[in-house]
Structures are given as structure tokens and as C-alpha cells.
Amino acid sequence: MTSSNFPSHEKNPASFSGPEADLSSAVAKLYNAYPFPPDPLLDEPPPGYNWRWFWPAASSFCTGRLPQSNRVRILDAGCGSGVGTDYLAHLNPEAEVVAIDLSPGTVKVATERLQRSGATNATFQTLSIYDVDQVPGEFDLINCVGVLHHMPDPVRGIQSLAKKLKPGGVLHVFVYGELGRWEIQLMQEAIALLQGDKRGDYTDGIQVGRKLFSSLPDNNRLVTYEKTYWAAENTRDECFADMYVHPQETDYNVKTLFELIDASGLEFVGFSNPDNWSLEALLAQAPELIERAAGLSDRDRYRLIELLNPHVPHYEFFLARPPLARTTWEDDAALQRASVKRNPCMHGWPSQSLLNQDYRPAKISEAGFEFLKAAEALGDDAVVETVLEQVPTPLDEVRSLWQQRMIFLG
């Protein structure tokens, strides 16, 4: 498929009527006026990476090993202005990428974005996630970032996506967290009250919100929160509108998040930012409390973490359609027979001072560094035991590289 095959941008309304249809129409109206994300259009591939959009990295995170093929189907569900779609297409050149969005205006921007960046493996359709069954076939990877929380019925939305996953396929989701967005919720309500019957006029809402922030005292909690976390990106009206005058938003906590996940019928694989969910990092000075928490279920443990660290503005996680085979590489013989590739999603290579795929410092020994260099030099022929013949390395060091996602095993 090529970008020249993009269909028209006529709106395909969701298959319901009444208040839900009104909300969906209001959401489309917002993004037609303020396409989001507002990243500039480039005449080249997008810079950097997000490993969650790189099929080998996403699949390895979920299964522990490299996928058998990179010739996969990827759905970008709620693609907006195509920023994520652009990465999905360029990071996965062997994949077929299909992108859908409710807003004709943003689909138009997304189409131009990929045409200008040179992507030729993506197609677009103006379509609600509720109607994703109109897209033929199933998908190996579905990307749904920042969308479900803006749908009138998120449960119906996630269930619609679940039906489009292949067995063993994975769905990456990003939804808002209520604890880290409490100040945002207050400002949203304040703007709506002041707008009155002008609510739904998004330009007016932006003007009201900006006037509020410029008029409140500097030490006001809402002003402080905005300046600390969001002011830089909210200089753009598209970002301000998305945050403060959106007509539909559902925010979650751990309890309601897992109610959504359970309703999907899919398997929870894990948070895709696991370092943010470490109780040990929070309670390093209190091992006795960590011991007390040892008997908690995973969900109660997550809830404890967000209660102790309530700045959780969002959740990002992978779900899978069973069966999902997982490999832990505990068997030495199996590990030695495994193919090995350096994860390209790292910063600083070939220095030993590296940032991993999450832009966090990696702890790599001299032996591990030499192993990485030898594996890369062997290219597609790299097998762990072959690398070890050149650079003797303890297997536990190889496992450490894998656990830090510095290497892929297959």
C-alpha cells in the first residue's frame, strides 16, 4: 500500500445516536479545529523513537523474545494528526499500518504528514473506534494512545479493539490517571462554568482558560501545577484545548483501570513504564514495609504505589489476546542457543554510558559492553554461544542485558 491510496476524509459517524453521538461529534469538532498532536510536519522521517511503536521491541517486552516476523499488521486506533502513525510506519518498514480517527480534519493532517515524511506503508480512514469492525482482518499490534479516555463509552471502545487482535497479538493503551490530573479537572470545570452557554466554543474556552491562568495569584495551586508540568507545551492552543476544554474525559485510578481491562477480555501483560511502578524505589529506606507489602496482590500493590506517589497523570500498558507465549531464559542451554541483537532503541552507543529505551541510565559492566559490541559485529549471525566464544561473558550478565532491554533474544 502507498500513501497515494489514502481514502477520502468524509466523516463516518459512529454507529449510535443520542447523547453518545453528540459527544463524539463534539470531539470531532474539537480536533477538526485544533488537530492534535500539533507536532510540525517534516519532509523527512520523524526524529528519535518510541520503542512501544517499534514492533520488535514491543513484542520482546511482552513475550521475552524477538517475533518470528516483522511482516505484521499494525492498527493506529485514534491516530490524531498522525505523529504516532509516522513512527509506526518508519520504524516498521515491513509492516502494513492502518490508521483510523473520528476527526476528518486530523486525518487530513495525518495524511499530509506521512506523505511528506516519505512513508509508503500506511493507509488512513476516517472512522470511529466503535466501528473498527469495518476494517478488514486482524492485527498483531494495536496502538491506542490518548483515545479511550475521550470516548463516551471506553468499555465499548476497548472491546471493539480487542476483537481486532490476532491470537497472541498485543494492544498498547494510554489513558489518563485521576490522581495526577486533579488540578486539571478543577480548571476544566472552572472554564466550563465561566463559559456557560458558550461551552463547546473551543476558541472561547481557550481564551477563558488563559485569562484565568494569567489572573490568578502566582502561588495559586492550579497556576503552580500548570507552570511545573504543562506550561511549555500548553503555549500551543492545540495542547491547551486538548487538556482544558475537551468535551469528554474519563480519568482512572488503579481500581477503575483494571475494571476497564477486565471488561476487554484481554490479558494484562504489564505497564510499559515498569520503573514507575517500583515499590522498592519508593520505600528503599523501609525494608520492613516492603516486607509487609509482599503478600499483596499485584493490583493492591499497584494501588499502594499510586497512593504513595499520587502524581500519576496517565497509565500506559500492554494487553494481549491469549494465548501469549512468554520466555524467561532461565535455562542456560536455551539461552546459549538464542539469537541476539542489540536493541537499537538506546542513546549513546557505542559508549558504555548508555541510556536505555526509556531514556534511563543503563548499568552495563565492561564485560557486558564487550558482549554488546561483539553481538553487533556479528549482525544477523549473532547467537549467544557464538558471541561468548569471542567474548567470554557470564550468562548472568547476558540475562542482565536482556532484563534491561539492551538486547533482544530470539
Q: What is the tens place of the pLDDT at every residue in 325-372?
A: 999 999 999 999 999 999 999 999 998 889 999 999 998 999 999 999
CA distance 193 to 188: 9
Asked whether 141 and 75 are in contact (CB, 8 A), the reply is yes
Q: What is the tens place of the pLDDT at every residue in 127-181?
A: 999 999 999 999 999 999 999 999 999 999 999 999 999 999 999 999 999 999 9
Reported confidence tier of residue 21, pLDDT bands at 50, 70, 90: confident
CATH number of the 1-178+251-326 domain: 3.40.50.150
C-alpha cell at 8: 477520502
Mean pLDDT of 99-111: 97
Q: What is the tens place of the pLDDT at every residue in 290-300?
A: 999 999 999 99
pLDDT given for residue 361 in this prediction: 92
For all residues of the chain together, what is the average pLDDT?
Answer: 94
pLDDT given for residue 2 in this prediction: 33
Q: Pick the residue with more confidence: 276 or 13?
A: 276
Q: What is the tens place of the pLDDT at every residue in 373-392?
A: 999 999 999 999 999 999 99
Mean pLDDT of 263-285: 97
pLDDT given for residue 363 in this prediction: 86
Write down the domain spans for the chain.
1-178+251-326, 182-244, 332-409
| High-pLDDT (> 90) share of the chain, % | 92
pLDDT given for residue 99 in this prediction: 98
pLDDT given for residue 16 in this prediction: 52
pLDDT given for residue 11 in this prediction: 39
